[in-house]
């Protein structure tokens, strides 16, 4: 991180949107083990094991299995996940998701049918994030 | 989102992404970011301009526009394009190194035993019969 100044700028403007940022894609027949970090979005269809620190959105597709410690801006899980999941903005669990472990995010949504075993922790973002829009706007004015 | 999921697909490590560890699988991989560690692919490895790979690589074709350092096995071909840099040890069945490319290190050829080529044998042996 910190190597690509150009991308940091685009991250700030369009966080969570596919269009603005570069999206990495790990196909269904790919296994990645180790440490993944950096900006951009990531779509996982295969197997991931390890430590992930993403300055973008992570999408775990129905065919995917992710094990490990994940940090991202926002996370959508449709496949399998086990481990610890931390999102700065939000976590969404689709109905096909099977999740076990620890989830930490200011916003969490789950579709009916999603399987979740574990611990949930919800924190309001301490910094002046646009997530709590009404209050921050009043304070500014 | 799911449209490219099936076989023959190419995975992408985009520019802002850094991976340290092992990547393996049955498909091809395009690296515009950074990868350090081990890459084992049944398909091709394509390192784009700006992509940096410092790894032990085993792939079918290895096409380099960025920078690759390490021990590389290209079961079919290693191609270093004009913007590409290769540093290390490479074993490949064939090489293509373009003008302007940098190749520093050791290269070895995979000696491919000629398969299904009985047609080339006759010329020398037929002389016995004639005599």
Q: Do B72 and B91 form a contact (C-beta atoms < 8 A)? A: yes
Total domains present in chain A? 1
Per-residue pLDDT reduced to its tens digit, A79-130: 999 999 999 999 999 999 999 999 999 999 999 999 999 999 997 655 544 4
Per-residue pLDDT reduced to its tens digit, A14-63: 333 444 478 999 999 999 999 999 989 999 999 999 999 999 999 999 99
Is residue A36 less than 8 Å (CB to CB) from chain B?
yes
Residues in chain B: 131
Q: pLDDT value at position A123? A: 77
Q: pLDDT value at position B116? A: 59
> Does A76 have pLDDT greater than 90?
yes
Residue B7 to residues A43, A78, B28, Cα–Cα distance (Å): 16, 20, 10
What is the C-alpha separation between A72 and B63, in angstroms, rounded? Answer: 31
Radius of gyration from C-alpha coordinates of chain A: 15
Per-residue pLDDT reduced to its tens digit, B50-84: 999 999 999 999 999 999 999 999 999 999 999 99
What is the C-alpha separation between A67 and B130, in angstroms, rounded? Answer: 72
Q: pLDDT value at position A125? A: 58
Is residue A122 less than 8 Å (CB to CB) from chain B?
no
Q: Which residues of B touch A55 (CB under 8 A)?
A: 16
- Inter-chain touch B21–A61, beta carbons under 8 Å: no
Q: Do A45 and A27 form a contact (C-beta atoms < 8 A)? A: yes
What is the C-alpha separation between A87 and A132, in angstroms, rounded? Answer: 15
Domain that holds residue A73: 5-140
Q: How far is A24 from chain B (nearest CA, A)?
A: 5
- Inter-chain touch B23–A35, beta carbons under 8 Å: no
Q: Which residues of A touch B32 (CB under 8 A)?
A: 22
Instruction: Determine the 3-state secondary structure of B75 from DSSP.
Output: strand
DSSP 8-state code for residue B37: E
Residue A42 corresponds to which tokens in the numbers above?
A: 């990531």
Q: What are the extents of the domains in chain B?
A: 10-109
Of B33 and A128, the structure prediction assigns the larger pLDDT to B33
Q: Confidence class of residue A6 from pLDDT cuts 50, 70 and 90?
A: very low
What is the C-alpha separation between B131 and B45, in angstroms, rounded? Answer: 54
Per-residue pLDDT reduced to its tens digit, B93-124: 999 999 999 999 999 998 866 565 554 444 44
Instruction: Determine the 3-state secondary structure of B15 from DSSP.
Output: coil
Q: pLDDT value at position B9? A: 85
Instruction: Determine the 3-state secondary structure of A65 from DSSP.
Output: strand
Write down the residue that tokens 């099977």 correspond to: A98
Q: pLDDT value at position A88? A: 95
| Model ipTM over 0.90 | no
A9-13, B32-36, B56-60, B117-121: least confident range: A9-13
Q: pLDDT value at position B118? A: 52
């Amino acid at each position: 991180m910190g190597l690509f100044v150009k991308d940091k700028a685009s991250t700030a403007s369009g966080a969570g949107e596919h269009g603005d940022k570069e999206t990495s894609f790990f196909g269904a027949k790919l296994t990645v083990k180790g440490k993944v970090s950096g900006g951009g979005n990531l779509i996982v269809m295969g197997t991931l094991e390890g430590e992930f620190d993403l300055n973008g959105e992570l999408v775990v597709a129905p065919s995917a299995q992710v094990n490990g410690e994940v940090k991202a801006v926002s996370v959508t899980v449709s496949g399998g996940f086990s481990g610890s999941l931390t999102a700065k903005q939000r976590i969404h669990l689709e109905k096909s998701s099977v999740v076990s472990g620890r989830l930490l995010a200011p916003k969490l949504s789950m579709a009916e049918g999603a399987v979740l075993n574990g611990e949930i922790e919800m924190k309001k973002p301490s910094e002046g994030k646009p997530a709590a829009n009404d209050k921050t706007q009043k304070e500014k004015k | 989102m799911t449209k490219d999921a099936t076989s023959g697909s190419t995975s992408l490590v985009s520019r802002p992404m850094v991976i340290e560890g092992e990547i393996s699988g049955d498909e091809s991989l395009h690296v515009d970011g950074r990868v350090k560690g081990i890459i084992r692919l049944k398909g091709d490895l394509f390192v784009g301009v700006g992509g940096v790979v410092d790894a032990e690589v085993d792939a079918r074709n290895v096409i380099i526009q960025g920078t690759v350092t390490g021990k590389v096995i290209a079961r079919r071909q290693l191609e270093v394009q004009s913007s590409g840099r290769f540093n290390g040890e490479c074993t490949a069945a064939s090489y293509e190194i373009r003008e302007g490319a940098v190749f520093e290190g050791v290269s070895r050829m995979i000696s491919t035993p000629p398969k299904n080529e009985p047609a080339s044998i006759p010329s020398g042996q037929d002389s016995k019969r004639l005599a």
